[in-house]
Amino acid sequence: MSIVEIKGLTKKFGNFTALDNVDLTMNEGEVFGFIGPNGAGKTTTIRVMLGLLKATRGEVRIFGRDAWKDAVELHKRIAFVPGEANLWPNLSGGEVIDLFLKMRGNGSQGRREELIKRFDLDPTKKCGTYSKGNRQKIALIAAFSSDADLYILDEPTSGLDPLMERVFQEYVMEVKAEGKSVFLSSHILSEVEKLCDTIAIIREGKIIETGTLNEMRHLTRTKLTIQTKEPVTLDETKGVHNIEEHDAELSFQVDTEELDEVIRYISQFGIVKLESTSPTLEDLFLRHYEAKETSNGVGGQA
């Protein structure tokens, strides 16, 4: 069952189109990764989902209800963590967590204590004196100690140290195991790769790719390192990119849909050695981030 359904969402700020006809579907129990370059529209999408921004056009439904009109009701089931938690300087961290829990109306004290311990936070400090990472922890503790069905996280780990990031990942796994859903926007690709079932890539306000990591790998390049008996030139071959030569070895990337053709072609030269690495999310991502490159480029330089 889909719990987030975005159809034809367009958001304009004056003349500037921040989101252009965005379609997204997220299923129950899924951890959904949302990635894209700076200024792509991730935060804007999340704010529309939270009913903070009103869609210029299109429809955003969460749990089948309108994100703008039914915001208050919906938020009882949603926990949100912003990328930069600015809090009330005169209140202590513990007070802010309690305040959030009370305003939400559910959540448990036991879980709060456990999270404070796990995230190693001193809840008695005033928010004005916390470090950035510690402020971020407050937002995370408040979110994970509440009893939500959907967690919307906008770069939640910015500022966290690697240890705390691991604690964060464990909690994401935990809520997932409880059958809850997580919408995660992040720049930390290893995190997304590890946690997410489905991924959407947004660039300049448009969704340019969605699917599982496996499906996406299909659409990208495989990295090959080869050694052949006779020298081979690939400069003119369709779907080959970033050719590098070291000694007798040649390494390059191949568009997955052209893989068959390329292997057929190089096998004519007598393959001595062939290594293939499946693309990491980072490869995939970098390819999409690079704005001007055409996907079916011929040849290519390093």
Which residues of this protein are in contact with ligand ATP, per CB under 6 A? 13, 16, 18, 36, 38-44
Q: What is the nearest approach in angstroms of Mg ion to the Cβ of residue 154?
A: 6
Site track for Mg ion across 258-297, x = CB under 5 A: ----------------------------------------
Site track for other proteins across 45-74, x = CB under 8 A: --x--xxxxx--------------xxxxx-
Which alpha helices (H) appear in 64-200, and where do they start and end?
71-75, 93-104, 109-118, 132-144, 162-177, 189-195
Q: What is the nearest approach in angstroms of Mg ion to the Cβ of residue 299?
A: 36
Q: Which of 4, 22, 87, 234 binds other proteins (CB under 8 A)?
A: 87
Q: What is the nearest approach in angstroms of Mg ion to the Cβ of residue 288?
A: 17
- Gap between the Cα atoms of 191 and 280, Å rounded: 12
Cβ distance to other proteins smaller for residue 6 or 213: 6
Q: What is the nearest approach in angstroms of other proteins to the Cβ of residue 37?
A: 20
Site track for Mg ion across 36-55, x = CB under 5 A: -------x------------
Dihedrals φ, ψ of 222, to 5°?
Answer: -105, 145
Distances (CA, A) of 171 to 11, 133, 177: 32, 17, 10
40 binds, among other proteins, ligand ATP, Mg ion, none (CB under 5 to 8 A by kind): ligand ATP
Cβ distance to ligand ATP smaller for residue 43 or 169: 43
Q: What is the nearest approach in angstroms of other proteins to the Cβ of residue 115?
A: 17
237-296: contacts with other proteins (CB under 8 A): none
Distances (CA, A) of 112 to 68, 69, 142, 145, 182: 29, 31, 7, 5, 19
- Gap between the Cα atoms of 18 and 34, Å rounded: 16
The 8-class DSSP code of residue 239 comes to: T
The DSSP string of 182-220 is EEEE-S-HHHHHHH-SEEEEEETTEEEEEEEHHHHHHTS
Are 36 and 203 in contact by the 8 Å Cβ rule? The answer is yes
Cβ distance to ligand ATP smaller for residue 40 or 115: 40
Coil vs helix vs strand at 113:
helix
Residues that bind other proteins (CB under 8 A): 13-14, 47, 50-54, 69-73, 75-76, 78-80, 82, 84-91, 95, 99-100, 102-105, 139, 152
